[in-house]
Amino acid sequence: MFPVTKVAIAGLSGKIGSLIAQSLLKHHPTVQINGIVRSPSKVATTIASNSNVHIHQADPSNPSALRKALANVDVCICCYLGDNELMVQGQKTLIDACIAEKVPRYIGSDYSFDFRGLKKGDHPAKDFALEYNAYLEENEKEGKIKGVHILNGGFTEVIFSPFLGWFNGEGNGKFTYFGTGDEKLDMTTMKDTAAFTAEVAMDENANGYLNVVGDRKSVKELAKVYEEVYGVTPEVQRRGSFEDLHKIMRETFQKDPSNIFAWMGMHYQYYMGKGSVTLGKDENERLGDRKPQGVKEFLQSWPRERVAMSYMS
């Protein structure tokens, strides 16, 4: 094995791709980055202007363009975010291009909870992970490439967003839950997830499923920390049992599967709350002295009136 010197980031212009690049450039200043994007103009100027960054324009469905960007690369990090076609077929095409160019490792576009606790159809928005990963595992068994998966629970910014359903930032804030409200939820900020991914990318021996956890808090604990940080008492409401939630989320999905924001949050609440996708032991030590941000520190970094929109920043 040789030290990692060149990293490809597919989807460099997106939020996670940009954060990974920033972390690599800051903590590994000699690394070369091949950024793969559809639109070079969307890459942040601070990244694109760095002499260590080389932008390659390539459509996810164009194998030859992808192969050019992957030549002599030590690891490919996928940061795709989009529809099922991109997340499944797009990743399969990227994996094939990596294999053709003999890229040793592929870091999939997961950045989520442990989807291995799901079956196809359980959480429709996560079916892509099961499908592309099955393809990656087939190629891994044949010795063609090694798969790497970054698991961080939910992004802390998204846990506090309005569309997952646990938190509403209006007034003094409101937290709602199904179950007991004491179920622990894994969460990590986008920045810390990206920093962890960067360190994994630079470790040529890092393969398989790797966990990073910024905090583990129940909804009731989130409400307590919120009150402690902001000095206001949020409303906390139980909406029913997990059986109630399961019935509502299935009915909502069956009514209009195309309206993903109507049902997606309920699926996160159900499977994260039930513990089906809970992370195992974390490997936070990969970050060295950079301790991942806990919920208290996260909230302290945001004005109360903006925390619900932090995922958009």
Could you report the per-residue pLDDT of 157-183, keeping only the tens digit for each?
A: 999 999 899 999 999 999 999 999 999
pTM: 0.96
Name the β-bridge partners of 24: none
pLDDT tens-digit readout, 204-217? 999 999 999 999 99
Confidence (pLDDT) at 3? 81
Tokens 């030859």 appear where? 64
Which whole-number Å values give the CA distances from 134 to 120, 191, 231, 254, in the listed order? 12, 28, 48, 26
Comparing C-alpha atoms, which of 46, 44, 9, 2 is closest to residue 26?
Answer: 46
Residues belonging to the chain: 313
Confidence of residue 2 (pLDDT cuts 50, 70, 90): low
- Dihedral sign of CA atoms 231, 180, 163, 130 in order: positive
pLDDT tens-digit readout, 180-197? 999 999 999 999 999 999
What is the distance between the alpha carbons of residues 22 and 288, in angstroms, rounded to a whole number?
17
Looking at residues 54-64, what average pLDDT do you find? Answer: 98
Confidence (pLDDT) at 104? 98
Given a cut of 90, is residue 256 above it in pLDDT?
A: yes
Q: What are phi and psi of 43, to 5 degrees?
A: -75, 135
Cβ pair 124, 138 in contact under 8 A: no
The domains of the chain, with CATH numbers, are: 6-155+188-213+279-290 (3.40.50.720)
Confidence (pLDDT) at 229? 99
Looking at residues 99-110, what average pLDDT do you find? Answer: 98
Helices (runs of H) and strands (runs of E) counted in the chain: 12, 13
* Percent of the chain whose pLDDT exceeds 90: 98
Looking at residues 26-41, what average pLDDT do you find? Answer: 98
Q: Is 55 helix (H, G, I), strand (E, B) or coil?
A: strand
Name the β-bridge partners of 185: 217
Looking at residues 256-267, what average pLDDT do you find? Answer: 96
Confidence (pLDDT) at 313? 84
Please give the distance of CA 144 from its chain centroid, rounded to a whole number.
25
Name the β-bridge partners of 57: 37
What is the distance between the alpha carbons of residues 193 and 78, in angstroms, rounded to a whole number?
14
Confidence (pLDDT) at 1? 47
